[in-house]
Structure 1
Amino acid sequence: MTKRLTPKQLQKALRKHRFPADDGWTMTTPTASAIAVTNGSESFNIEMILDQQRAGRVDQLCTALGRLLLTMRDHEPTITWAVAAPHTDAWLETFEKIPLRVLATFRLALMLADHDRVIEYPNDYEYDERVLLDDEDLSDLVLPSDIDDELDALLDGDMNNH
């Protein structure tokens, strides 16, 4: 699907196709495997995975996720955490192992990059498909846990006013 990307090529693909300077994005490289991008109101901390070897892909993903977890702070609500990997079917399959609940809870973005584009996973279609196929109940991530009581109170209030 794509030729092996060097760290610089992966950074270049992310800058060109997802975080262009023309749109106000600035990029820093705090470590050899990480980049941070910001445009003033939005920030991404991205761990890059570069090895396309079949063996150890899950371990590489776990290492990248672990590095992100160690840098997460509660007081940073505008930051999205991300993992970027080469755009291959094998990496897509590896990303699919991460539960949707984890992606939503941790504001985690997954990016598949090659020389010509950056694809964010899951897109809306893939997200909906996984919810249906995996039967994950994510309603509590969208609606507060006491929504039934709030709706009952609202309806009772409206009924009493009529």
Structure 2
Amino acid sequence: MILRTATRADLPVLLALLADGDDAPVTEAHERAFAAIGADPRNEMLVLADGDRVLGCLQLTYIPGLGQGGRERALIEAVRVRPELRGDGLGTELMERAVARARERGCALVQLTSNKRRVHAHRFYERLGFARSHDGFKLSLTG
């Protein structure tokens, strides 16, 4: 298995993973977002792959800030593993590799958010050493 940067050919699989296995057509907005992620040196859309088969994905964003001694923090979002492969250790592998990548870059910490309804995911993140240290708030700017 390798951790690599997602390619445009991976986009339909990524959208299906984010939709928990449901079909999700690639739209112009997806194309623009994927291109923007790829063009931004502080963003990476990563896939864990076995040959050409994408097993899981996540987005890793590096955020500069004055806190943490001026060191970057890494934000992990959109973590998904193929539904039929969950429980096989692939999520752990994916997260450990992402954390290692952030550490190699010199980040002071790694943070993530998770929907309150994803109770199994919360237990998974806690097993990996993530602590519930803050409450998050979101304001939707779309209908």
Larger radius of gyration: 1
TM-score (norm 2): 0.37
Where is the helix percentage greater, Structure 1 or Structure 2? Answer: 1
TM-score (norm 1): 0.34
Which structure is higher in RCO with an 8 Å CA cutoff and minimum separation 6?
1
